Each structure stands twice: as C-alpha cells, then as structure tokens.
C-alpha cells in the first residue's frame, strides 16, 4: 500500500475513534476541506472543529469500500452511519477526494448523500 493510501487509512481510523490528534497528524497546516453546498474550511483549526459535530453523538461507523490512487490524488468511497443528537441516525454514502502533498492531506473534497 502506498504512503498516501496509508495516510488516508489513518485519517479514516482517526475519524472512527474521534481521535483529533490522529486526524490532524494526517493534514498539512494549510489544509482545505470542502463539502460542496455545505462548507469550505481552511486550516487545521477549522478542520478540528468539524471532527466532532454537535449535530451527532458518539463515534461514526465508517466503512471504506474502495480506495484508488493516481499521482497525488486518493479517492475513497464508502458508507457512514452516525447517531444524531436529536435522535435517529444518519445513513449515508460518501466519496472523498484527497489531494496529497508530502504524504499528508492538502485538500479534501467530500461528497455525501444520505440514504433513506
């Protein structure tokens, strides 16, 4: 497995554990995280605030079903299930596009669709 894919695996594991230092260790200082239609964040501090979102409680269940890489881009597809603070669950599928630099995430574009 390439160094970039290992970084993405570590990033996903950090989110599964709600382990802020683990997630942040995978990012460049000037990381950009965009979820089209929802948010555009710049920097580790802004990123850190979204690792655990108050809309959800507990740790998410994240399953990566496919990971592909070309040059410095890693694409991870999968599913996520998370308990909502107000009750019920989010069941969604995602496609995360990671632009890597020096073995770390420089940019992340996350596409998420809720499955009803």
pLDDT tens digits, 64-73: 999 999 999 9
- Residue 94, token pair as written in the block: 């995602």
pLDDT tens digits, 71-103: 999 999 999 999 999 999 999 999 999 999 999
CATH for the 3-114 domain, from 3.30.830.10, 1.10.760.10, 3.10.450.50, 3.40.50.2300: 3.10.450.50
Q: Give the per-residue pLDDT at 110.
A: 98
Our CA angle for 18, 20, 23, nearest 5°, is 95
Determine the distance from the C-alpha atom of residue 16 to the mean position of all C-alpha atoms in its chain, rounded to a whole number: 10
Question: Hey, where are the domains in the chain?
Answer: 3-114
pLDDT tens digits, 33-62: 999 999 999 999 999 998 888 889 999 999
Q: Give the per-residue pLDDT at 52.
A: 86
Q: What is the pTM of this model?
A: 0.94
């Amino acid at each position: 497995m390439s160094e970039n894919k290992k970084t993405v695996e570590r990033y996903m594991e950090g989110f599964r554990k709600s382990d802020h230092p683990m997630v942040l260790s995978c990012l460049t200082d000037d990381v950009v995280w965009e979820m089209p239609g929802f948010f555009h964040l710049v920097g580790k501090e802004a990123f850190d605030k979204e690792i655990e979102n108050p809309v959800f409680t507990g740790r998410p269940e994240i399953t990566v079903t496919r990971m592909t890489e070309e040059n410095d881009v890693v694409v991870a597809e999968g599913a996520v299930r998370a308990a909502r603070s107000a009750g019920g669950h989010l069941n969604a599928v995602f496609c995360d596009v990671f632009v890597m630099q020096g073995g770390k995430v420089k940019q992340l574009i996350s596409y998420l669709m809720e499955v009803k």
